[in-house]
Amino acid sequence: MWSFSNDPEFQPELDWIDTFVREEVEPLDVLLGSQWDIHAPEFKRLVRPLQQKVKDRGLWACHLGPELGGKGYGQLKLALMNEKFGRSRFGPIVFGSQAPDTGNSEILAHYGTPEQKKKYLEPLLNNDIVSCFSMTEPQGGADPLVLAASAVRDGDDWVINGDKWFASNARYASFYIVMVVTDPDAAPYRRMSMFIVPADTPGIEIVRNYGFYGEPENTHGHVRWTNVRVPAENMLGGQGDAFVVAQVRLSGGRMHHAMRTLAQATRAFEMMCERAVSRFTKGEQLSKKQMVQEKIADSWTELRQFRLLILETAWLADQGNDWKAIRKNVAAVKATMPKLLHDIAARALQVHGSLGISHEMPFAELVINSFHIGLADGPTEVHKVTVAREVLKDYAPINDIFPSYIRHELVAEAHELYDALQET
């Protein structure tokens, strides 16, 4: 059965989230620094009470299954929630659903030992600590097959050496989940393994923290690992299983990120519309200008199209619970996301004129963020290739010089079909 309406029992929760985020969470974005600096006094004073309200409402960490204290919501409900609290930079952490902690918690839930779950997973889920997922390297970019950081077995330990790049939130993390080469002679996708490493382990050095326009603090670390000793039991999954382990955190995370991007674009759209009906130029409302109307019409249409693409993909995930089977859908969502945010933010900026490029408005930050989300979790180009490859699997070549749908052949086949039917 198809429906475009929300579950009547769930709609009040979405309405509460929408009001709560607009009225109480969004103001944090202009008051506080990094949302991962959870031990800052102002975070404790302002954010912790809001997190408690979410917990009291029963909406904390809803990406978790009931066995971990969550609601066990499917991807569709999670998408609708992320569309609401994704409006705010602090929205995800207020709802216990911030990256990379959500993905890391899924890895620990699947592969962690009981002791590791007690030490790392429980405080992570309660936001008593935050974590870092460390995979990319300075020379590697988006290609994990050229990773060079390695771990060598030494008795009961593995010894890690190498550099990691753009390790988000490394400066605040209590532990890292790091992907390194453990068997350089194995097949390409069996060369690497995943480890959980406490952040205070000797040999871990943050060389420099990098940031980009719009971020309140530099939080993306260049991290150097020098003879970092890790107990063998800290390997997550088996040796060579890094790609299998990583897939646990990727697809669902991409869906949630997409809905948060939709929320940001929607917020920019709302600002553009308010400006259009409020501003007068050349003797009339800005909203009366046809080129402004075009920007609004294009933006509204693109928002609806993207939203439906995400929700269809979330619905498919709930039906089959198999991300691999819908990888082209997920890749299409990821590939569409940066352009949507870029185009709508750029239009909103233009409609606001010189005010639009100022620090008083969020549009320049959103434009830069559109490039960020086009690089994180694999660049847009990679996801477009995935879509094309998956789509083309459903087509087979024909052994003829002309297409199977050339007109004169279709005419002949149609005559043959209906002449035969007439004879019978």
Q: Indicate the pLDDT class of residue 139, thresholds 50, 70 and 90.
A: confident
> Distance between CA atoms of 251 and 333, rounded to whole angstroms?
10
Cβ atoms of 261 and 83 closer than 8 Å = no
pLDDT at 59: 94
Q: Indicate the pLDDT class of residue 1, thresholds 50, 70 and 90.
A: low
pTM of the model: 0.90
What DSSP state is assigned to residue 108? H
* pLDDT per residue as tens digits for the range 79-92: 999 999 999 999 99
Q: Indicate the pLDDT class of residue 143, thresholds 50, 70 and 90.
A: confident
Q: Could you tell me which residues are beta bridge partners of residue 237?
A: none
CA 247, 251, 256, 260 torsion-angle sign? positive
Give mean pLDDT, residues 233-251: 87
Give mean pLDDT, residues 207-227: 92
| Mean pLDDT taken over the chain | 92
Judge whether residue 222 has pLDDT over 90: yes
Element (H, E) at 48: helix 48-57
pLDDT at 2: 67
Count other Cβ atoms within 10 Å, centred on residue 410. Answer: 11
By three-state DSSP, how is residue 308 classified?
Answer: helix
Cβ atoms of 314 and 320 closer than 8 Å = no
Judge whether residue 68 has pLDDT over 80: no
Give mean pLDDT, residues 203-217: 91
Distances in Å between the Cα of 64 and the Cα atoms of 12, 69, 103, 122, 127 are: 21, 7, 11, 12, 14
pLDDT at 392: 96
pLDDT at 250: 66
Q: Retrieve residue 325's tokens.
A: 């089977």
Strands (E), 12-156: 131-134, 150-154
pLDDT at 251: 62
By three-state DSSP, how is residue 210 classified?
Answer: strand
* pLDDT per residue as tens digits for the range 17-45: 999 999 999 999 999 999 999 999 999 99
> Distance between CA atoms of 313 and 317, rounded to whole angstroms?
6
CA triple 290-294-300, angle to 5 deg: 140
Q: Indicate the pLDDT class of residue 63, thresholds 50, 70 and 90.
A: confident
* pLDDT per residue as tens digits for the range 326-385: 999 999 999 999 999 999 999 999 999 999 999 999 999 999 999 999 988 889 999 999
